[in-house]
């Protein structure tokens, strides 16, 4: 019998209606498990740990990623896998962050949540929780089927750092625009085994450092020069995520390019990611992106925005070496980036 640790952080999956039925308020893990007696039918030894105060995912902070990573580290050699219950709004950020924090991971870390609270009649929470636990418990010859951070939502299992939330209303709230689903749950659980991630690191370890000195600039036609100056001339940041048009294109305005170049020359990083969910950056394909490439702007390839932000934060927390960080940003280290 496999042993699974459920880590409850908060979110809609554990919420119930307030007494006046006007708002949703967080409840505790015991309530969640009482609502899903079917879990007792699985041949799984369930354990659980809960954040002292369940948090809404909108209040998620890197310190909470560290807390989750520490819980996994503490219990890593005691259980066969982990299921994290999380609010959906920032779930993709957490999934991406944990994938970069957990090095040498040889066990499943399945993150799930729901669009409706677990106590509601039409809730999607029960199926998400039951199947997430089942996936985390699956082994072949004593070896876990999944050995990475993954997201399970509405019958699909996605790589955590390839996942983005795209709907506030549909039960199928998440998508993996640039990577195949890892598994689909129907009558049977069907895995795409060739797409599952396997680390080459023999030993498990946890990176707990991070830096939030990361800024995001989303380009749009007519973006103010003063806005760009306010962002690129200040001294507090170490990296800018530049959300460009299409395959990595940006304005050719000389002042804009001068600001970017000066920012990089001060020892900072600019990472280019596309505003489009499908596809990725092809710097140099057009003249509008060739100048970015020439000045040292890094290509984010087909990384999701969430992966780009969290990967940058984690790498900045690991080193002060800009050249090392830059090399790691353009290298596929946890399956987050397609290698052409």
Query: Which residues are identified as catalytic?
Result: 12
Nearest-5° Cα angle at 311, 308 to 317: 140
SS3 83: strand
Residue 200 contacts by C-beta under 8 Å, 6 or more apart in sequence?
none
Strands (E), 52-199: 81-85, 102-103, 109-112, 139-140, 143-144, 149-153, 156-159, 164-165, 174-175, 183-185, 189-191
Distance between CA atoms of 240 and 238, rounded to whole angstroms?
7
Give CA–CA dist 240/295, Å, rounded: 14
Q: What is the DSSP string of 177-224?
A: TTS--SEEESSSEEE-GGGS------S-EE-------EEEEE--TT--
CA 230 to chain centre: 29
Integer Cα distance of 63 and 186 in angstroms = 36
State how far the Cα of 65 lies from the Cα of 114, in Å rounded to an integer.
19
Pick from 273, 202, 206, 264: nearest CA to 238: 264
Site of tokens 């119930």: 16
Query: In the Cβ-directed half-sphere of 115, how many Cα atoms lie within 13 Å?
Result: 15
**Alpha-carbon torsion 4, 5, 9, 10, what sign?**
positive
Alpha-carbon distance of 23 to 331, in angstroms, equals 44
């Amino acid at each position: 019998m496999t042993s699974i640790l459920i880590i409850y952080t908060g979110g809609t999956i554990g919420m119930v209606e307030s007494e006046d039925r006007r708002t949703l308020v967080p409840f505790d893990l015991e309530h969640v498990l009482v609502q899903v007696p079917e879990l007792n039918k699985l041949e799984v030894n369930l354990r659980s740990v809960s954040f002292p105060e369940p948090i809404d995912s909108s209040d998620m902070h890197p310190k909470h990623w560290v807390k989750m990573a520490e819980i996994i580290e503490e219990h890593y050699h005691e259980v066969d896998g982990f299921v994290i219950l999380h609010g959906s709004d920032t779930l993709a950020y957490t999934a991406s962050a944990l994938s970069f924090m957990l090095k040498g991971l040889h066990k499943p870390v399945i993150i799930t949540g729901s669009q409706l609270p677990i106590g509601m009649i039409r809730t999607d929470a029960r199926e998400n929780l039951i199947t997430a636990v089942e996936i985390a418990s699956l082994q072949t010859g004593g070896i876990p089927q999944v050995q990475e951070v993954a997201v399970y939502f509405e019958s699909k299992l996605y790589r955590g750092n390839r996942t983005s939330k795209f709907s506030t209303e549909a039960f199928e709230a998440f998508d993996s625009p640039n990577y195949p689903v890892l598994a689909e749950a129907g009558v049977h659980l069907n895995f795409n085994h060739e797409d599952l991630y396997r680390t080459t690191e023999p030993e498990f370890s946890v990176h707990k450092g991070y830096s939030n000195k990361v800024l995001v600039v989303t380009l749009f036609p007519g973006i103010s020069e003063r806005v760009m100056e306010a962002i690129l001339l200040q001294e507090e940041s170490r990296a800018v995520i530049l959300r460009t048009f299409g395959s990595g294109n940006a304005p050719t305005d000389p002042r804009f390019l001068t600001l970017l170049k000066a920012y990089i020359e001060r020892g900072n990083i600019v990472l280019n990611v596309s505003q489009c969910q499908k596809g990725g950056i092809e710097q140099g394909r057009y003249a509008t992106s060739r100048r970015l490439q020439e000045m040292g702007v890094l290509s984010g390839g087909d990384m999701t925005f969430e992966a780009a932000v969290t990967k940058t934060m984690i790498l900045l927390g690991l080193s002060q070496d800009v050249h090392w960080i830059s090399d790691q940003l353009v290298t596929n280290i946890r399956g987050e980036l397609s290698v052409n």
